[in-house]
Amino acid sequence: MFWQEDIKEEHFTLPETIQDAVFSIHAKVLPIDHAYSLSQALLKYLPWLEEVNAGVFDISVADGNGWEQDHESGFYYPSKRSKLSIRVPKEKLDDAEILVGKTLNLGKYQIDIVKALKSKLMSDMQIVFAKHIVCDENASEETFLQTSFVQLQALEIQPKKMMAGLKRKISTPDGIIHTRSLMVADLRKAESVKLQEVGIGKHRLLGCGLFLPQKGIESVNAV
């Protein structure tokens, strides 16, 4: 755990430069580890995703509330509230809507894109959380936090509080990508937005390095 003093709030206007394109979907069943196949399916319709440094969030549900991921079998059943979210520049939002009515083929599994929902701006909340940050398989928690700290400083972000979370794996044809979740708290508003816009680390199309706002540390621990 990494912890420093709290910071003061400052006035800030949310930019519209980067937004999350959000789509309602229908899928009967999906493998939990579907990041690679999802990215490849999207690139067939949106080949420009790599060019604009877009980010693709995996489609998942949190355990509980009647919806559970069967970690033993490696599959889960998306709920009607499950969404597909793609982080893109504002000028690409309309282009992304070509997905509506399409079916994404993930090998044996399919995702129907039902409709486009209202896009989401980045948030100025002080706490953000990334489910996947690329890391070395054998890196200690201290090493992971130090590496993350250096990456944040490179973006001129001075993190006050960071907490490492669960380790995960993403399968690709080139091998396993090892990741760990990361919470960053007590950010200045401009820092929070910048971190969400730019992220840290590689493999954004696999959902890595992408931060979402969190209401509190308790909600992070529940993910």
221: pLDDT strictly greater than 80 = no
Looking at 99, 121, 143, the residue that finishes a domain is 121
In the chain, the amino acid numbered 65 is N
Please write the tens of the pLDDT for every residue from 91-117. Answer: 999 999 999 999 999 999 999 999 999
| Exposure letters 109-120 (e unless 16+ CB within 10 A, then b) | bebebeebeebe
Range of the domain at 112: 18-121
Judgement on whether residues 82 and 152 belong to the same structural domain of the protein: no
Residue 64 DSSP symbol: B
CB 42 within 8 A of CB 49: yes
Judgement on whether residues 117 and 197 belong to the same structural domain of the protein: no
CATH of the domain at 61: 3.30.70.1890
Encoding tokens for residue 30?
């999906």
Sequence-separated (6 or more) residues with CB below 8 Å from residue 82: 25, 27, 59, 60, 61
pLDDT of amino acid 111:
97
3: pLDDT strictly greater than 70 = no
Judgement on whether residues 46 and 107 belong to the same structural domain of the protein: yes
pLDDT bucket at 219, cuts 50 / 70 / 90: very low
Looking at 121, 139, 173, the residue that finishes a domain is 121
Number of structural domains found in the chain: 2
Q: Is residue 13 part of a domain?
A: no
Looking at 68, 97, 121, the residue that finishes a domain is 121
The region, left, alpha or beta by phi > 0 then psi within -120 to 50, assigned to residue 65 is: left
Q: How much is the average pLDDT of 129-143? A: 96
Judgement on whether residues 23 and 113 belong to the same structural domain of the protein: yes
Judgement on whether residues 162 and 102 belong to the same structural domain of the protein: no
65: pLDDT strictly greater than 90 = no
Judgement on whether residues 139 and 204 belong to the same structural domain of the protein: yes
Judgement on whether residues 138 and 111 belong to the same structural domain of the protein: no
Judgement on whether residues 108 and 188 belong to the same structural domain of the protein: no
Please write the tens of the pLDDT for every residue from 140-155. Answer: 999 999 999 999 999 9
Judgement on whether residues 117 and 138 belong to the same structural domain of the protein: no
Please write the tens of the pLDDT for every residue from 188-218. Answer: 999 999 999 999 999 999 999 999 999 865 5
pLDDT of amino acid 10:
57
Please state the pTM of the whole predicted model: 0.87
Judgement on whether residues 132 and 116 belong to the same structural domain of the protein: no
Judgement on whether residues 126 and 115 belong to the same structural domain of the protein: no
